[in-house]
Chains A and B, each alone.
Chain A
């Protein structure tokens, strides 16, 4: 019996390690290609470790298109939409979780229902609306809607608010606190961990967004990194070392945030599933 158990264990490790190698391969291949010369990438059989490291690929790739500018644009868009989402969802989530008003449950059901709506159905009218407002080729369509809440995060935060004892609010009410004061002084400090989790999840989503920038940003100086990379790939379809260098630059901020906030992300993702 004992022997069989350890054989199973070894098998588990073998599969996990082989799986890990397969999952890491694309990343290793990307880094390796990004550091090779233009000729070395077409060598056969391919080498994982380049003979010489061509760091200048990064310089070249990042100056062909103004990636520095794209980086700043992305930071501004992601930053503003992050502030908008955190503020609006914190406020709205509080309203749904801690205050009683007629129609609350029906409205909250609508929050849940809107999560199911496929985005294509609203895309065109919203695009036409922003176009009429003269917002095309500005950051506004990518940031302003964030200030009006996000159904999924409102749902997530409401769960956190509900876990805070009602007695806290009652005590504050007796002391004459307004709802706004209860929100700011009692709840905001308590749900900070949840807000951080939400901020990280939003960051990753906004950083990776492609469809929004694609339809709203038209001039190159306003491009985000994702859009810049797509453009770059349209211009240079065979300079793989440059494409990989540029891809790496787009990927690295996401990886850095991931490593700093891994615990938060895993918490957030896990919470998502528990409602299942």
Chain B
């Protein structure tokens, strides 16, 4: 029998086939993660030699008001933006799932903005948010004017109060991806469930709460996790539109990390920020995975 030899051959082939990924894992992921931890224990202005300082970077971080501010901004952004986007995406998906004519046109219109380059999107929205000549304030003035009230419009990106809400609002324009995934999820729910509920005299709201939401909960959960992980790492919008201002109102943690690492070249301090942020994201993910058992409905686990 040549069987054992064949198995050895197949195993060898297997390792050869996954070799590119294996090398990438060591060079671009595992190695850097360990290196990042080591670097965070050093003072390292990029052009000089690193010197070991122990936990000093982390101690500095605990007392750094800018870091506190960045966490606050990032958390507010993530915890407002993600549920808001999910609600809008779910609303649109539900509407599109009503056997509407022109489905593909509506789908294209809602999805298109989400694939556009963030830099261009940011530049366009800066213009939309322009306090004097921007379209948004123009429309706001019109709408408020209908009630006979004089309204100047908001300062948006130049106001410490409205800059973060402006970025959150702009993000709604990119709900297309979540909408598509939810629409696919909706289309996977068997019609017979609704028919059975209709026989039992359930109204639309009861059907939504008792059938649609539970059946959709794995998809919602997936989008929630991916959305939160992504939202904790936003960067481009604030880099382009506000530079973190005004008065650090949009100083996201990754922007602070960028400033330390790639503007001031404090590699040690930037690595410490990266580590703390990553640990926070991992804890968040773990909490969500843990609590998901309570509200996510998996058919197979009935």
User: What residues of chain A have their CB less than 8 Å away from a CB belonging to chain B?
Assistant: 9, 12-13, 15-16, 19-20, 23-27, 29-30, 33, 41-42, 44-46, 88, 91-92, 94-96, 99-102, 104, 107, 110-111, 114, 116-129, 131, 145, 147-149, 154, 178-180, 183, 204, 207-208, 210-211, 214-215, 225-227, 229-230, 233, 240, 243-244, 246-248, 250-251, 254-255, 258, 262, 265-266, 269-270, 272-276
Contact = CB atoms under 8 A, between A and B. Distances in A.
B127 A243 contact: yes
Interface string B13-41: 11111101111110111011101100100
B116 A251 contact: yes
A179 B18 contact: no
A179 B36 contact: no
Contact of B98 (A9, A96, A145, A210): A9
Given A44-B132, A96-B18, A145-B24, 10 more contacts: A88-B20, A95-B17, A117-B33, A121-B275, A121-B278, A124-B39, A148-B27, A208-B116, A240-B127, A273-B223
A9 B95 CA distance: 9
B150 to A, nearest CB: 15
A20 B29 contact: no
A233 B110 contact: no
Give the contact-size bracket for chain B: 35 or more
Contacts of A178: 13
A62 B12 CA distance: 53
A258 B31 contact: no
B124 A20 contact: no
Interface of B: 7, 10-18, 20-25, 27-29, 31-33, 35-36, 39, 46, 92, 95-96, 98, 100, 106-113, 115-120, 123-128, 130, 132-133, 135, 138, 173, 177, 180-182, 184-185, 188, 218-219, 221-223, 229, 232-233, 235-236, 239-240, 254, 257-258, 261-262, 267, 270-271, 273-275, 277-278, 281-282, 285
A199 to B, nearest CB: 14
A11 to B, nearest CB: 9
B117 A26 contact: no
B109 A126 contact: no
Given A118-B232, A118-B277, A20 B106 contact: yes
A210 B119 contact: yes
Contacts of A266: 107, 111, 180
Contacts of A111: 21
A210 B177 contact: no
Nearest to B185: A273
Contacts of A117: 29, 33, 278
Contact of B110 (A19, A110, A147): A19
Given A12-B100, A26-B125, A118-B232, A125 B31 contact: yes
A102 B270 CA distance: 39
Contacts of A110: 25
Contacts of B108: 262
